[in-house]
């Protein structure tokens, strides 16, 4: 193992150990912090300086996207007009690894005067930040992963993880669901997958439909024309089965030279997977992966075929 690889591995081990060391610290103070945010009638305002500020901005973004109105402010900006955004019904999450950051502590008198609850997050339970906070979350690490033991590495990882833990607990507390998440992410791929439904992407024109007594020669022509790699077997307006590329390969292996003269009913797969027009793409993707299939059939309330969603149309 080279020196570079050895250093990288040790870094990851140190940071992993720092995260594991947080587990025993999740207790009553963490519960109080969750309750403070959960019952906050205003906003959660996250603040911190330097690396703590960068991590704080990410924590605020995660909380905002999961149902907790949050934003980040720099303490330096707070002294030049931004204190006005902090209102009586808000809660402040103040982050400082040392707990002694002067720029952060300087606006505590304002918070105390306004009776604004403060969740302090630091690596020093005896710090001024811990003393002034309504509740304190201990994020102390044994050592930084930096080879010099100086650069914020394990400590910033621990801070970020504690913020994620807070966000996850609030997701459960608020009963925040996939649909709620999608509402906050309508422009992203994830949001589209959670909001888009089968009816929005299904193939409906010239569906490759065949009868069960049709020969496989004719069925293959229909399958080729449909360009979906399958044909749907329908009898008396009811779906009887499906013939896919996989069914064709298995049929050729099974019947040999007589394959083309066999009927569709001898080759088809019965009981294909079906969904309603309102099924979300995220659910369809789960079906495709679970059953290792490439398409699902879209049916109406009477079980009549109205469309097909394949793996390509589900990829948005």
CATH number of the domain encompassing residue 28: 3.40.50.10490
**Do 149 and 40 fall into the same domain?**
yes
Q: Is residue 115 domain-resident?
A: yes
pLDDT along the chain (316 residues), means of 10: 89 94 95 95 92 94 88 77 76 94 86 92 95 95 88 93 95 76 53 76 92 94 90 93 94 94 95 93 87 93 92 73
Structurally, the chain folds into a number of domains equal to: 2
Domain extent for 234: 198-310
Three-state secondary structure call for residue 291? helix
Count Cβ atoms within 10 A of the Cβ of residue 175 and give its class: 0-12 exposed, 13-18 middle, 19 or more buried. exposed
Render pLDDT for 236-249 as a digit per residue (tens, 0 to 9): 889 999 999 999 99
Domain boundary residue, one of 176, 211, 233 = 176
17 & 156 share domain: yes
Q: Are residues 166 and 268 in the same domain?
A: no
What is the distance between the alpha carbons of residues 61 and 6, in angstroms, rounded to a whole number?
34
Report the half-sphere exposure of 55 (CA within 13 A, side-chain side).
26
Domain annotation covers residue 188: no
What integer pLDDT is reported at residue 110 of this predicted model? 85
Residue 186, in any domain of the structure: no
Residues 70 and 135 both lie in one domain: yes
33, 163: one domain: yes
Looking at residue 183, its pLDDT comes to 56
Q: How many CB atoms lie within 10 A of CB 190?
A: 14
61 lies in some domain = yes
Q: What three-state secondary structure class fits 242?
A: strand
Residues forming a β-bridge with 203:
308
Helices (H), 127-272: 128-132, 154-173, 178-184, 189-195, 198-201, 216-226, 245-255, 264-267
Rounded Cα distance between 278 and 314, Å, is 14
Structure tokens at 9: 């591995």
pLDDT for 306 equals: 95
Does 217 lie in the same domain as 164? no
Do 137 and 214 fall within a single domain? no
Give yes or no: residues 137 and 204 share one domain: no
CATH code for the domain in which residue 206 is found: 3.10.580.10
**Separation CA 63–CA 76 (nearest Å):** 23
* Integer CA distances (angstroms), 261 to 93, 208, 213, in order: 73, 19, 11
Shared domain for 45 and 109, answered yes or no, is yes
Q: Which of 176, 206, 240 is the last residue of a domain?
A: 176
Residue 184 lies inside a defined structural domain of this protein: no
Sheet with 91-95, edge to edge strand ranges: 70-73, 44-48, 91-95, 118-122, 135-138
């Amino acid at each position: 193992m080279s020196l570079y690889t050895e250093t990288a591995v040790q870094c990851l081990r140190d940071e992993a150990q720092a995260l594991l060391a947080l587990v025993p610290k999740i207790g009553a103070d963490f519960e109080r912090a969750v309750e403070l945010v959960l019952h906050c009638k205003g906003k959660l305002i996250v603040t911190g300086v330097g690396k703590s500020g960068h991590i704080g901005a990410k924590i605020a973004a995660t909380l905002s996207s999961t149902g907790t109105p949050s934003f980040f402010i720099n303490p330096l900006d707070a002294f030049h007009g931004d204190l006005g955004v902090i209102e009586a019904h808000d809660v402040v999450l103040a982050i400082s690894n040392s707990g002694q950051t002067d720029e952060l502590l300087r606006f505590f008198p304002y918070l105390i005067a306004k009776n604004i609850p403060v969740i302090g997050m630091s690596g020093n339970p005896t710090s001024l930040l811990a003393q002034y906070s309504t509740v304190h979350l201990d994020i102390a690490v044994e050592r930084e992963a930096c080879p010099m033991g100086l650069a914020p590495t394990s400590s910033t990882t621990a801070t970020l993880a504690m913020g994620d833990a807070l966000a996850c607990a609030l997701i459960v507390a608020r009963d925040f669901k996939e649909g709620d998440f999608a509402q906050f992410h309508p422009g992203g791929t994830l949001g589209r997958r959670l909001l888009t439904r089968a009816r929005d992407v299904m193939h409906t024109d010239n569906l490759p439909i065949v009868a069960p007594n049709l020969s496989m020669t004719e069925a293959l022509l229909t399958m080729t024309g449909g360009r979906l790699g399958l044909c749907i077997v329908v009898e008396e307006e009811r779906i009887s089965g499906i013939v896919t590329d996989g069914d064709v390969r298995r049929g050729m292996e099974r019947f040999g030279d007589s394959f083309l003269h066999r009927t569709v009913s001898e080759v088809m797969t019965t009981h294909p997977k079906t969904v309603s027009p309102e099924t979300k793409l995220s659910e369809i993707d789960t079906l495709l992966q679970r059953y290792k299939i490439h398409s699902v059939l879209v049916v109406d309330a009477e079980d009549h075929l109205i469309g097909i969603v394949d793996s390509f149309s589900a990829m948005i």
